[in-house]
Amino acid sequence: MDAQTLIAKRIALELRDGMLVNLGIGIPTLVANFVPPSIHVFFQSENGLIGTGPVAEPGMAQPRLTDAGGRPVTALPGACTFDSAMSFALIRGGHVDVTVLGGLQVDQGGLLANWMIPGKMVPGMGGAMDLVCGAKRVLVAMQHTAKGKSKIVKRVSLPLTSVRPVDLVVTELAVIAFPKGRATLLETAPGVTVRDVLAATEAELIVAENVSQMAV
């Protein structure tokens, strides 16, 4: 299983029946492919849609029905559309149960940076700041390292997305939560040891008493 699939599968286990869920672009988008068939989840696209379905089959694209990345998607039965003020009232107002976002850095207190690298990459924050501010649970789906450097750091050096800490980080190596504001290793990926995770992580990690293996 490749790293992205592993991360997306593990994140999907966090979803529950009836939840309103917002997926960011990149790895988070893949989560929709692994929702257990026994539950129904409402996916929101920030551009004004609840009930987002898979990308349209060739020849079936409707140019007036897109996701937040501008790709032509489908709408599932029961879908509804609305304007951007409503979409972000849902997000900021605490109506979104789970948001899944990509990350550039998460620090040992759970603070996230995911929207710019000064001087190199200035895409803009889009909806990320509102999502981290307002969603009930914030999950980060990202690779553990970038160019050999840990993305789970002691202190975030890039511009923050929000002062609200995230709830869970899932990488291809580990699942990390932040009880009492401290990064805590809960699970390791199949074939990965606690020692492997600690060696790949810059942040000080508390190791939970019974670290389990990801149930993917």
In angstroms, the CA 17 to CA 200 distance is: 34
State in angstroms the smallest separation of the CB of 187 from other proteins: 30
Chain mean position to CA 208? 22
- State the Rg of the chain over Cα: 17
What are 20-23's contacts with CB under 8 Å, separation 24+?
A: 20/44, 20/50, 20/90, 20/95, 20/96, 20/97, 20/98, 21/96, 21/97, 21/98, 21/99, 21/100, 22/46, 22/91, 22/96, 22/98, 22/99, 22/100, 22/131, 22/135, 23/99, 23/100
Is 14 noted as a catalytic residue in this protein? no
The pairing of beta strand 112-113 with beta strand 145-146: unpaired
In angstroms, the CA 8 to CA 12 distance is: 6
Are 47 and 87 in contact, with CB atoms under 8 Å apart? Answer: yes
> What tokens were used for 94?
């605490």
Q: Which of 46, 57, 187, 202 is catalytic?
A: 46
In angstroms, the CA 151 to CA 102 distance is: 11
Interface with other proteins by CB under 8 A: which residues? 45-49, 62-66, 68-70, 75, 81-85, 88-89, 91-92, 121-130, 133-134, 159-163
Q: Which amino acids are annotated catalytic?
A: 46
